[in-house]
Amino acid sequence: MKKLLITLTLLLAGCSTQASRMADCQSQGLSKDTCYMAEQNRQTAIQSAALKQAMENSAKQYAQATKKIVHARIKGIDVKIFPADKQGYIEGTAAYLDEDNADAQVYRKGIFTAIYYKRTHKLVLMRNGQIYGRTPI
């Protein structure tokens, strides 16, 4: 039965309408139920392949987004930000995310505040509330 279904599926894999594939199947002397099951298996296989490809594409896009790292050294202070993960480091120590909106992410650690502007890809480092330095990324 399995060999018959596999052979039937391979025969029905051409570019034709569902009705014509059903008619061709029945003309070979197979029952309507068997032909219907073969057609359902064919459609499921096509949908599974499309879903698998979509999942692979989304995984690649996510991997590209997570690789984005903003890393700069401003006046000797090392700042590293992972925008997708919402993690920031100032001088190698984790900084907490103070603010996150459509325009910027703000990270604080001690006297330093790092502001990453998402749209312009610029980084501003503040010390005690005063601009200490800035750099385009």
Q: How confident is the model at residue 119 (pLDDT cuts 50, 70, 90)?
A: confident
Give the pLDDT confidence score for residue 80 in this predicted structure: 93
On average, the pLDDT of the chain sits at 84
Three-class SS of 13-32: CCCCCHHHHHHHHHHCCCCH
- Residue span of the structural domain in which 98 resides: 68-136
Count each helix (H run) and each strand (E run) in the chain, helices first.
Answer: 3, 8
Task: For residues 47 and 103, state if they share a domain.
Answer: no
The angle, 0 to 180 degrees and rounded to 10, between the axes of the packed helices 32-66 and 18-27 is 140
Q: How confident is the model at residue 107 (pLDDT cuts 50, 70, 90)?
A: very high
Q: How confident is the model at residue 128 (pLDDT cuts 50, 70, 90)?
A: very high
Give the pLDDT confidence score for residue 101 in this predicted structure: 92
Residue that finishes a domain, picked among 11, 34, 65: 65
Residue 78, pLDDT > 90, answer yes
Residue 10, pLDDT > 60, answer no
Number of domains in the chain: 2
Residue that finishes a domain, picked among 28, 47, 65: 65
**pLDDT tens per residue, range 21-72:** 888 888 888 888 888 888 899 889 999 888 889 888 887 776 665 568 889 9
Task: For residues 48 and 72, state if they share a domain.
Answer: no
Task: For residues 91 and 130, state if they share a domain.
Answer: yes
